[in-house]
Structure 1
Amino acid sequence: MRKFKAKALLLAAAVGLLILHLFKNFSDSKTLQHNLDVRKDQVQIRQPITKSSSYVYSWPRCQQNTSAANVTGFSSLPGNMKNFMYYRHCRHFPMLLDVPDKCGGAEKSAAVFLLLVIKSSPVNYDRREVLRKTWAKERLHNGVRIRRIFISGTMDSGFEKERLNKLLELEQREYNDILQWDFSDTFYNLTLKQILFMEWMERNCPNIRFLFNGDDDVFANTDNMVEYLQSLKDNNGSKHLFTGSIMVGTGPIRHPGSRYFVPVQVHESESYPPYLSGGGYLLSGYTASVIYNMSQSIDIIPIDDAYMGMCLAKAGLGPMSHIGVKVFGVDLPSSKLDRYDACYYRDYLLVHRFLPIQIYQMWHRIHDPKLICTKQPADG
């Protein structure tokens, strides 16, 4: 009888210890989840894959919205537009590469004066390499800090997708300047890419002063950008700024053969609010935050620059034109002149579009101390 009671007591003690252990683990997991301080309750944690010790946030795979097929006229749409509509609601994707300390941490992000946010597909290695050595070089100019980040998705499938992802991973090890999410990096997903970046910015660089947002095939005079931004009166990034090449009176292109095709099933209105051409523009940290907040209640359309204008319009704000942003190129006084003469480009903020070799040459030409200019472009 005594042996039975002793065994019972030992068993009860073991069960009690097991319950305490399970409760502690449960409590610790709740504390970890609470400390993450993220808005969604579906976040999973993976080990970091960058130089930083911070975690990478991984969202569950978004499911196809099969009800999109019930929309009137859906069956007659091109395949890429059907695919866009199936996944239009998806705004969270697994993050493959992250640089959470790019701005020095959220609380120190105000120390970054200008963040260069460059849209780049995985395959564009040569463009990224040239930009790192020219206008996107991280540096101090006029006493303020310029930082750089490339934003990208994934391309292709199978072995080729793995190779391209490995390419970005190798670049990340050397430069620590890439944000990559596991979504298809296509023209129709440029708006998604912008939203994903702005969500990242809200978490990691909430107090950034100014941003340049543009393509990887532009020539950007980032020295001039800094000097322009420093000349602004009473705006250190905490007020509205959204300037570039303004587009007014445009609307969706309804021709299915066009790259910019947007059917009525995606955007019913026949017009877009004023917006800036997506080749490149400048905006304040304040405006970037406003756009992100407005985007939470506006359905995605595949034209990213028009979508930015829609977000601004909802906030009661608008874009501003800047004469120094030439997304359609520079008009020269004569066709006989050298269209890549540095004297025609040194005073602009941005010109679209340039090949990598042209960017490299132009950057060094405009910084040549022996450059003497007496001529100006016809459009001033």
Structure 2
Amino acid sequence: MTRCSRMRYLSAPAFLLLGVLLMLFLYARPNNVSEPKIFNSTTQIVFLQKEEDIFSQEEPLPPKCEQNMMAAKIPGFPFFSPQIQNFLSYRHCRGFPMILDLPHKCGRHHEPEDIFLLLVIKTLPKNYERREVLRKTWAKERMHNGKWIRTIFITGTDGSGFEKKRMNKLLALEHKQYNDILQWDFNESFFNLTLKQILFLEWKNRRCRHVRFLLNGDDDVFAHTENMVEYLQGLEDNDGSKHLFVGHVIKNAFPVRTRGSKYYIPPQIHRKVAYPPYCGGGGYLLSGYTASVIYNMSKSIQIFPIDDVYMGMCLAAAKLEIEPHVGVKTLGWYIPSANLDKYNPCYMKELLLIHKFSPAEIVIMWHEVHNLKLRCGRTKQTW
């Protein structure tokens, strides 16, 4: 007996029961669950289930960027390190598919969130402990003085083959829990930091146009984010819609020509004698306006491997000045006294950012700086 012939013998109550079960199934699905992103070779499609959040955006994914075989003909190419060879071979590449996205980090398309300070933290996929510490200390998403502080970690990929897939899966699980990671499918390296910056600025231009100010920093800095909010609130006539770029200013710097140095730049990459002024890449503050200007300038300026220098190049091309801030220390710091501990929380309490802290030092210092019993002044402090 066929299925159709058997269905003829179902009673009316059975049909009624079947209909009820079908309705229960359809209405039992939670209406606040977002459909997962769908990736294929040509487009990324995002669908949201809630009626008030209907958002269907089709974004063309960039094609796979092919190696520039002509780079091998650059004089001296065979004698360069693999990192420099790779940079020269893929220097023209600016578009890479996203693995992890945050389409609504800055609010909905029709209802943007008023984010005062966006913390943009460069990290590596393997640096889970650092990210976890920052989420519990200075990068914790919160409101201060009535202003929202939000956090994004930006990264590429590590390793290859199974190791790369395993790390990406772990990062995806972390992202699912915290919703604060942007990841692109490019290989992490020191010479790809500029690429990471450009990819973020492109994302910010699409997803987060209304953010007022940004902190661009590394995951090994101690940042006093409350001080940053108060400093930015005290600016005269600048709500983020005007130029601002402040940090530890470096002037009259020259390309390092010593082979073997981490910062070695051969003349084949940069022939000019001196770099323009720039801020140390460990951390600097900029306005949303300035971030947009840098992104637009980057479209016509060839990628340079040292990211903080490249930011200076974009600003110089736009004829925008950078400002020093005594509270930003990205090249270490010096206390001219043998009787003072440079890790004294009273000293840290007045700063904005200091580079090179371990996760343990960040935790300890954060709690010490926020210790209500801390008394700073002429009285000798013990820590």
Q: Same fold per TM (> 0.5)? A: yes
Q: Deviations over 1:3-61 (max 9, x none)?
A: xxxxxxxxxxxxxxxxxxxxxxxxxxxxxxxxxxxxxxx98223559999766763221
**Structure 1 residue 58 and structure 2 residue 58: aligned?**
no
Q: Distance in 1 between matches of 2:109 and 2:356?
A: 34
Contact map agreement 1:78 1:256 (CA 8 A) in 2 = no
2:150 counterpart residue number? 147
The verdict on how the C-alpha distance between 1:190 and 1:375 changes in structure 2, with shifts beyond 3 A counting, is farther
**Equivalent residue letter for 2:319:** G
1:110, CA displacement in angstroms? 6.0
SS in 2 for 1:300: coil
Matches of residues 1-380 of structure 1 in structure 2 within 5 Å?
44-46=42-44, 58-106=61-109, 108-109=111-112, 111-374=114-377
CA change 1:293–1:238 in 2 (3 A) is same
One-letter identity of the residue aligned with 2:83 = N
Aligned equivalents of 1:305 and 1:211: distance in 2? 15
Query: Counterpart amino acid of 2:202?
Result: E
User: Per-residue CA shift, 1:286-323, capped at 9, x if unaligned?
Assistant: 00000000000011011000000000000011211000
Residues 347, 107 of structure 1: alpha-carbon distance in 2 compared, 3 angstrom cutoff: farther
The runs of 5 or more residues in structure 1 that have no matched partner are 1-41
User: How many Å separate the matches in 1 of 2:41 and 2:160?
Assistant: 25
Helix, strand or coil: the match of 2:226? Answer: helix
CA distance in 2, matches of 1:152, 1:54: 26
Q: When the two structures are aligned, how many residues end up with a matched partner? A: 335
Contact map agreement 1:43 1:57 (CA 8 A) in 2: no
Residue pair 1:344, 1:375 contacting (<8 A) in 2 also: no
Q: How far does the alpha carbon of each residue in 1:145-168 deviate from its partner, in whole angstroms, 9 at most, with x for none?
A: 110000000001112111211121
CA distance in 2, matches of 1:185, 1:128: 17
- Secondary structure, counterpart of 1:183 in structure 2: strand
Decide whether aligned partners of structure 1 residues 49 and 329 sit closer, same or farther in structure 2, where only a CA change above 3 A counts.
farther
Label 1:177 to 1:54 Cα distance change in 2 as closer, same or farther (>3 A): farther
Q: Which moved more, 1:56-65 or 1:247-256?
A: 56-65
Length-normalised TM-score, structure 2:
0.83
The residue identity in structure 2 corresponding to 1:202 is N
Q: Which moved more, 1:250-259 or 1:275-284?
A: 250-259
Moved more, 198-207 or 46-55: 46-55
Which moved further from structure 2: 303-312 or 258-267? 258-267
The answer (yes or no) to whether the contact 2:213–2:288 under 8 Å persists in 1 is: yes
CA spacing shift, 1:43–1:165, aligned 2, 3 Å: closer
Tell me, in whole angstroms, the C-alpha distance in 2 between the residues paired with 1:218 and 1:375.
28
Q: Quick one: which amino acid aligns to residue 117 of structure 2?
A: L
Distance in 1 of aligned mates of 2:346 and 2:82: 46
- State the Cα RMSD in Å: 2.1
1 or 2, which has the higher helix percentage?
1
**CA distance change for structure 1 residues 90 and 355 in 2, over 3 Å: closer, same or farther?**
same
- SS of residue in 2 equivalent to 1:173: helix
- Alpha-carbon contact 1:50-1:173 (below 8 Å) kept: no
How far apart are residue 77 of structure 1 and its match?
1.9
How many angstroms apart in 2 are the aligned matches of 1:254 and 1:228?
Answer: 38
TM-score (norm 1): 0.84
Cα distance, 1:178 vs structure 2: 0.3
